[in-house]
A and B are shown apart, each in its own frame.
Chain A
Amino acid sequence: DAGVTQSPTHLIKTRGQHVTLRCSPISGHKSVSWYQQVLGQGPQFIFQYYEKEERGRGNFPDRFSARQFPNYSSELNVNALLLGDSALYLCASSLNPGEGPTYEQYFGPGTRLTVT
């Protein structure tokens, strides 16, 4: 069974540009979360979506947005890129948010974004 997949694997963008990252959850999982991980830090929570609705949001500016599609895949969009947006972006899927063991999130390999 396929795990969480993310595309692209690596991406290089210029300051001010826009980027779209994609994630496909584990089959049967209806919740997708996005995290940003900079070197030497733990993952920082950006968004959680469940059944196409936003169910959680971290402390990120409005330049960050996301959506979830009917097939439960998700996109993370970042506008007006800054150098500080350079990081590993992780997607995680789970059965449901906040229901006992279904808190357990399964992570994809991430997309490495470099902003120059």
Chain B
Amino acid sequence: DQQVKQNSPSLSVQEGRISILNCDYTNSMFDYFLWYKKYPAEGPTFLISISSIKDKNEDGRFTVFLNKSAKHLSLHIVPSQPGDSAVYFCAASAYTSGTYKYIFGTGTRLKVLA
């Protein structure tokens, strides 16, 4: 049961254009969402997060949008740069029954073309 889904395994974008990475979730108990970037042979790097009480969070070139009714979030990168080429993971967390759980999606490989 994949509670966090990234349905696009890969995405190619021209340098300078917008990259939009999507993520869907099924568990309405998730209260915090995060995006991570991963380069080969490295651990994931935290990028940006959003609380479930918000619908948008912006940090420089990165903006995350949350649509709770649709159980959907997206990461916008504007403008895209070749250094943004990496695998991007969407993650969600929930606190239930006195414990925390963190669920990651399967990732989207972004390639920014120069």
Contact = CB atoms under 8 A, between A and B. Distances in A.
Given A103-B32, A103-B34, A56 B100 contact: yes
B95 A98 contact: yes
A84 interface: no
B43 A107 contact: yes
A55 B100 contact: yes
Interface string A60-89: 000000000000000000000000000000
Contacts of A56: 99-102
Contacts of A40: 106
Nearest to A48: B100
Contacts, number: 67
A24 interface: no
A42 B49 contact: no
A41 B106 contact: yes
A33 B102 contact: yes
B34 A90 contact: no
A43 B41 contact: no
B46 A105 contact: yes
A108 B43 contact: yes
A45 B102 contact: yes
B44 A103 contact: no
Given A104-B46, A105-B46, A43 B104 contact: yes
Interface of A: 4, 33, 35, 40-45, 48, 54-58, 90, 92, 97-98, 100-101, 103-110
